[in-house]
Amino acid sequence: MSHPQDLSLRNQAAAVASGELDAAELLDATFARIEERDGALNSVVVRFPDEARRMLADAPRGPLHGVPVVVKDMFRLPWYAPRDGAPADAAPPGESAVYRRLRDAGAVIVGIAQCHYWGAGTTGHVSAWGPCGNPWNPAHCAGGSSGGSAAAVGARLVAAAVGTDGGGSVRLPSAYCGVTGMKVTFGAIEVDGYTHGYSDMGAIGPICRDAADARVFGEVLSGRALTRGDGRRLRVGVVRDPWWTNLDPEIERACDDALDAAGWERVELSLGGAEHQQAAALVCLTIQSLPMLTADEIAEAEPVLRALAKFELLMTPVIVHQAARVRSLLRREVARAFADCDVLAWPTVPAPAPPIENPTVELPSGRAPADPGNLRQTGFGNLTGIPGISVPVGLHSSGLPMGLQLQAPWSEEARLFDAAEHLEEATGREFVDAEPDYARPEAEPPHQNAGLEAPRSYTSRS
């Protein structure tokens, strides 16, 4: 047998259940692979060899019995206090709903995945843990804020990772790292013990190598069946402005080609309020997250985020109410649009993952920071609450992955998995089965953030 972490999530689970694969050997092999490959990435920033063995010893015969997974640094575990990618604890240790779902399914949590500082960025290059490298080129960003989760899956350290998505933080790093990631409908996965559970923008989501694995993991996390249907005959809504404008030409072509390959009927649409959706998403994210930070935390934060927080503190009540009006308008507009189409489709990111040393992207409008363009592509799903999935659809000439985002009406996660599986089949699984060259000579560890603690070892508090 090849390395067990080259197996899909569902094949790992089946092999353990049948006795073909010993769960303890799978766990040892997983830690060995993390040790072997993660030095160049910094994706699994805390590892739990003792707690993982305890979880395995106590694991019930659930659907993921004995299968190793990682969770983002935003969930309480009985032995771990999440930090949100910042130097201090954001919540005490405890049982999050995600922990209970994983435990009851028999899964084994092997570590914590790196997270952008406060979860407030789409690149993952700013974090108390240090930046996270992209499996396809560790000198480039893994994305954010669930960069560690996407990189760990992309590098085949684990077959499944839990991410969170307040403005695109599951979908964006999934696109950067060439994996499949879903933001579920708001509230479809219980937020108890999730450090941003106060927000009505944030949702939790599975990150896996392909849609079939993500469906299995999504079922475990949500506790409901996401029954397989037929994704072949869908009407796909295409909203050109703003989501198909100002894109890297290769990304635009790859996403367009993927829709052609799928053979879906295209419906051209427009959505009222779309021109203000990026600003509305920024305002809604800001007004919900800033009150959770103390003045001291802002004063001591990483310099770029400190400046951004001070800028955001100057927002007026008028803009907050304007954003609420845009949000309501977009929700009505998308509900209307879904009368004419089954899914919406546009590129997940406007450009491939930028370099860690200079996280800017080249767009037709010029060179720009990655965050604004990324938020433009994904904030809509958080404002409206609808589910969205990023599916790998190609490799850029830079060697970095490209992703297509599909979105469906509220609670229609199964439809998105159907669509994604059909897309995989229509493209011969070329992009979900693609694998980075781990032996590339230029693979260097990402640089650590100067002046911030980067704790890599953890002392259990249980």
CB of 232 to another protein, least distance (A): 26
* β-sheet bridge partners, residue 72: 113
Give the contact letters, 112-151, x = binds to another protein (CB under 8 A), - = no.
Answer: ----------------------------------------
CB of 384 to another protein, least distance (A): 7
Give the contact letters, 270-309, x = binds to another protein (CB under 8 A), - = no.
Answer: --xx-xx-xxx-xx-----------------------xx-
Determine the interface stretch with another protein among 23-31, 84-92, 103-111, 383-391 (rule: CB under 8 A): 383-391
Query: Any residues with CB less than 8 A from the CB of 32 and at least 6 apart, and which?
Result: none
Pick one of 23, 211, 326, 361: the residue that binds another protein (CB under 8 A): 326
Q: Which is nearer to another protein, 143 or 381 (CB)?
A: 381
Q: Which is nearer to another protein, 198 or 438 (CB)?
A: 198
E strands within 117-186?
Answer: 133-134, 137-141, 160-165, 180-183
Pick one of 325, 367, 456, 461: the residue that binds another protein (CB under 8 A): 325
Determine the interface stretch with another protein among 109-117, 243-251, 262-270, 331-339 (rule: CB under 8 A): 331-339
Is residue 328 a contact point for another protein (CB under 8 A)? Answer: yes
Residue 274 exposure: Cα atoms within 13 Å on the Cβ side: 18
- Rounded alpha-carbon distances, angstroms, from residue 176 to 117, 324, 332, 410: 18, 30, 31, 25
Pick one of 30, 123, 185, 348: the residue that binds another protein (CB under 8 A): 185
Query: Any residues with CB less than 8 A from the CB of 294 and at least 6 apart, and which?
Result: none
Is residue 367 a contact point for another protein (CB under 8 A)? Answer: no
CB of 158 to another protein, least distance (A): 29
- Which of 236, 292, 291 is closest to 263 using CA atoms? 236
Q: Which is nearer to another protein, 265 or 275 (CB)?
A: 275
- Within 155-184, the residues that bind another protein by CB under 8 A are none
Determine the interface stretch with another protein among 52-60, 162-170, 251-259, 327-335 (rule: CB under 8 A): 327-335
Going by their DSSP bridges, the two strands 133-134 and 108-113 should be labelled as unpaired
CB of 188 to another protein, least distance (A): 7
Q: What is the DSSP string of 17-31?
A: HHTSS-HHHHHHHHH
Give the contact letters, 401-420, x = binds to another protein (CB under 8 A), - = no.
Answer: --------xxx---------
CB of 285 to another protein, least distance (A): 11
Structure tokens that stand for 387 in this block? 């589910």
* Residue pair 45/113 in contact by the 8 Å Cβ criterion: yes
Pick one of 156, 327, 415, 422: the residue that binds another protein (CB under 8 A): 327
Pick one of 53, 232, 266, 331: the residue that binds another protein (CB under 8 A): 331
CB of 112 to another protein, least distance (A): 27
Is residue 242 a contact point for another protein (CB under 8 A)? Answer: no
- Rounded alpha-carbon distances, angstroms, from residue 171 to 174, 176, 369: 5, 9, 18
The sign of the torsion formed by the CA atoms of 265, 271, 276, 278 equals negative
* β-sheet bridge partners, residue 391: 404
Q: Which is nearer to another protein, 326 or 419 (CB)?
A: 326
Dihedral (C-alpha) 371, 197, 403, 10: value to the nearest 10 degrees? Answer: 150
Query: Any residues with CB less than 8 A from the CB of 4 and at least 6 apart, and which?
Result: 12, 15, 21, 25, 26, 29, 30
CB of 246 to another protein, least distance (A): 13
3-state secondary structure of 413: helix
> For the chain, what is the largest distance between any 2 Cα atoms, rounded to a whole number of angstroms?
62
| Number of residues located near another protein, criterion CB under 8 A | 46
Is residue 398 a contact point for another protein (CB under 8 A)? Answer: no
Q: What is the DSSP string of 203-269?
A: EEEEEESSHHHHHHHHHHHHTS-------SS-EEEEEHHHHTSS--HHHHHHHHHHHHHHTPEEEEE
**Helix 211-222 and helix 97-105: axis angle, to 10°?**
110
Question: Could you list the residues that contact another protein (CB under 8 A)?
Answer: 185-188, 200-201, 272-273, 275-276, 278-280, 282-283, 307-308, 310-312, 315-316, 318-319, 321-329, 331-332, 335, 368-369, 371-372, 383-385, 409-411
